[in-house]
Structure 1
Amino acid sequence: MKSISLLLASATLAFAAGAQAQTTKPGLWEITNKMQSSSGEMEKAMANMEKQMASMPPEQRKQMQDMMAKQGMSMAPGSGGGMSMKVCITKEMAERNELPQQQQGDCKTTRSPGSGNTMKFSYTCTQPPSSGEGVMTFNGDTGYTMKMNTTTTVKGKPEKMTMDATGKWLSADCGAIKPITPPKK
């Protein structure tokens, strides 16, 4: 599950890092990520999580989905073996360039000046200890693509991961998905 948490943290961190450089449309967003790890552990963890979700009784699955919605996200298997999650960005968050980050620990993001619709960024986090760099390409205020390389530690061993992600705005109404509340500092 720690690997899954790292995936979610990386995805939301990357979304926040990139989207803060551009105006982002408020509402419901879908972020689809596909990660590959040097050890294959991430892929095994994702497959195991999907298997566990599929084997849950419907009422237990609904309970888990409701709990995740209250935390500001909805997850489902994405196309091509990736993971898709939905997040809500309020009008106020978009105006302040404050985007959803379900981030533990201390993370610092550095953005390079953009060139056209492309932006480079790098980050370091203390919990879980990780660092990475990436490139985002924006499609106006309703979409983006991203490639990111991350280095972290999994089960006490160094792990390198690559992530390809896309983000797309779905609607102005977030429905049951509540905005992620930033952690208290």
Structure 2
Amino acid sequence: MPLIRTALLVCTAALCATAQAQSIKPGLWEMQSKMGGNPQMDQAMAQMQKQMASMPPAQRKQMEDMLAKQGMSMPSAAAGGGMSTKLCITPEMAAKQDLPVQEKGDCTNTVTSRSGNVMKMSFVCKNPPSSGEGTYTFTGDTAYTMQMQMKSTHQGKPQNMTMDGSGKWLAASCGNIKPVK
């Protein structure tokens, strides 16, 4: 599970840079990502999905509710795996073109270039140590796609991962999803 925790932190850190490229619409956003390129990660994610599927309904609902409180859900393996996260972007965040900064992992995001609707960025996280770079392509102020390459270390061994993702604006109101502070 430490490898999945690392990937989730890296994923969240990477998602936190998306608004720095273009103007984005305030409100509720859904961000989907799928990790790949690492057999151990793929196996761990498949095992976690299998464990979730085999839980008694009450226990699975409790786990899903816990994830939902954080704006997250895990699609089933049949749905292609991956993670779905909902974030609330306040009007102030959108005006500053700034999404919440990932506090866990002590991460730094840097926009390395912008051209038209494309932004390239890099990030470095200290805990767990990881780094990466990615490309975001925006479709107006309500959607984007992204591809990332990430490096980390697990049990003293270097790990390389990829992440494909997308984000889309869902609604002006964030409902019960609170902005990350």
TM-score bracket for this pair, using the shorter chain length: 0.7 to 0.9
Aligned to 2:147: 147
Aligned to 2:73: 75
In the alignment, the residues of structure 2 paired with residue 30 and residue 154 of structure 1 have an alpha-carbon distance, to the nearest angstrom, of 29
Tell me the SS of whatever aligns to 2:168: strand
In the alignment, the residues of structure 1 paired with residue 60 and residue 89 of structure 2 have an alpha-carbon distance, to the nearest angstrom, of 25
Q: Which segment is superposed worse, 140-149 or 46-55?
A: 46-55
1:118-152 C-alpha deviation (Å, 9 max, x unpaired):
01111111111001111110011111111111010
After the TM superposition, which residues 122-161 of structure 1 pair with which residues of structure 2 at under 5 Å, given as runs?
A: 122-161=122-161
In the alignment, the residues of structure 2 paired with residue 6 and residue 90 of structure 1 have an alpha-carbon distance, to the nearest angstrom, of 27
Match status 1:10 vs 2:16: no
In the alignment, the residues of structure 2 paired with residue 22 and residue 135 of structure 1 have an alpha-carbon distance, to the nearest angstrom, of 13
Aligned AA for 1:10? V
Tell me: CA distance 1:88–1:65, structure 2 relative to 1, closer, same or farther (3 Å).
farther
Tell me the SS of whatever aligns to 2:14: helix
In the alignment, the residues of structure 1 paired with residue 132 and residue 153 of structure 2 have an alpha-carbon distance, to the nearest angstrom, of 13
In the alignment, the residues of structure 1 paired with residue 105 and residue 82 of structure 2 have an alpha-carbon distance, to the nearest angstrom, of 25
After the TM superposition, which residues 61-72 of structure 1 pair with which residues of structure 2 at under 5 Å, given as runs?
A: 61-70=60-69, 72=70
Contact 1:12 1:100 in 2 (8 A): no
Deviation at 1:176? 3.1
Aligned AA for 1:66? D
In the alignment, the residues of structure 2 paired with residue 29 and residue 22 of structure 1 have an alpha-carbon distance, to the nearest angstrom, of 15
Aligned AA for 1:94? A
Aligned AA for 1:145? T
Which consecutive unaligned segments of at least 5 residues does structure 1 have?
none
After the TM superposition, which residues 54-65 of structure 1 pair with which residues of structure 2 at under 5 Å, given as runs?
A: 54-65=53-64
Tell me the SS of whatever aligns to 2:169: strand
Deviation at 1:102? 4.3
Deviation at 1:92? 2.8
Which consecutive unaligned segments of at least 5 residues does structure 2 have?
none
Q: Over aligned residue pairs, what C-alpha RMSD do you find?
A: 2.0
In the alignment, the residues of structure 1 paired with residue 29 and residue 51 of structure 2 have an alpha-carbon distance, to the nearest angstrom, of 25
Contact 2:37 2:160 in 1 (8 A): yes
Tell me the SS of whatever aligns to 1:25: coil
Aligned to 2:43: 44
Q: Percent identity?
A: 56
Aligned AA for 1:155? Q
Tell me the SS of whatever aligns to 2:166: strand
TM-score normalized by structure 1? 0.85
